[in-house]
Amino acid sequence: MKILITGGTGLVGSAIKKISNRYPKYSFIFISSKDCDLTDFQETTQIFLKLNPDYVIHLAANVGGLFKNMNQKVKMFEDNLMINYNVVKCCHAFNIKKLVAVLSTCIFPDEVSYPITEEMLHQGPPHVSNEGYAYAKRMLEIHIKKYREEYNKDFVCVSPCNVYGPNDNFNLEESHVIPAIIHKCYLAKKNNTEFILKGTGKALRQFIYSEDLGELILKILEKNNISYPNIILSPKKEYSIKEVAENIKEAFNYRKEITLETQYSNGQYRKNVSNQKLLSLFPEFKFTSLEYGIRETISWFINNYNTCRR
């Protein structure tokens, strides 16, 4: 049985590839934007026709951190809208047995009671900083829900919190928070300069290690009769951005104090989500600690500095 993974060379795709030998009954096919432009329906149709998968894990997206989301709202909306539409449409047309599509907890409403549950997704607008990306992802959840209702499709969305790990994008301007901070601290130590953090550092986030996310996605792929269309994937614990930076600083053995540039936006202050549905499905699942995950990510980044996305 063949599993097609879109966005297969990125952060989560690489994690799934690393653990794929734990699932020997499947043949994994990892594709990237070099193999197919998923914003083009004809190209998407051709790759499905060529590969003829049984299952699809849909990871592909135009993603980025806070400032990319704020500065490229139209592109983030349009690219993701087209990618998601084309993949879901082809999963239906080619009678895919199961589709697992990845959303994000950043698409939930800005003003909401905590912890956030799956049912709250459409109960208010997302934070203004990432509304282009968020609304496109919300449409993916609706698209999948309608196929479940009308055609009884085994299509499921998962909403991970902030993902980090080896093979991430460490670009200082467009990456997510942990890889951006890792790169900044690396340069600060290397050049004996200030370790600068944009914002107050008070914003709170939950983080999931990429290998944990890959494992959970494959568990959900194999789980039959999931009765709800969206599952939040997240550890329970929250960390402030300052705590994350201090953890990274310690891992690098960087001795200077962190400089906070408080004039910059913190983005949404809090996005605390509930993992109750996840734990009802997999009550024994153990998450990788943030401390260990950061050390592993830093080790990979240093060893692959010349070739990684930065």
| Catalytic positions | 133
Helix (H, G, I), strand (E, B) or coil at 256: coil
Residues facing residue 252 across a β-bridge:
none
For residue 38, the Cα-to-chain-centroid distance in whole angstroms is 18
The one-letter code for the residue type at 247 is: N
> Are 69 and 125 a contacting pair, CB within 8 Å?
no
Question: In angstroms, rounded to a whole number, what is the distance separating the alpha carbons of residues 36 and 56?
Answer: 15
Q: Phi and psi for 192 in degrees, rounded to 5?
A: 55, 50
Q: Are strands 239-240 and 204-205 parallel, antiparallel or unpaired?
A: antiparallel
Q: Are strands 230-233 and 155-160 parallel, antiparallel or unpaired?
A: parallel
| Cα distances (Å, whole numbers) of residue 113 to 40, 117, 156 | 39, 9, 25
SS percent in the chain: helix, strand, coil, step 5: 45, 15, 40
- Tell which residue, 134, 245, 238, has the closest CA to residue 183: 245
DSSP for 2-25 reads EEEEETTTSHHHHHHHHHGGG-TT
| Block residue for tokens 């568990």 | 219
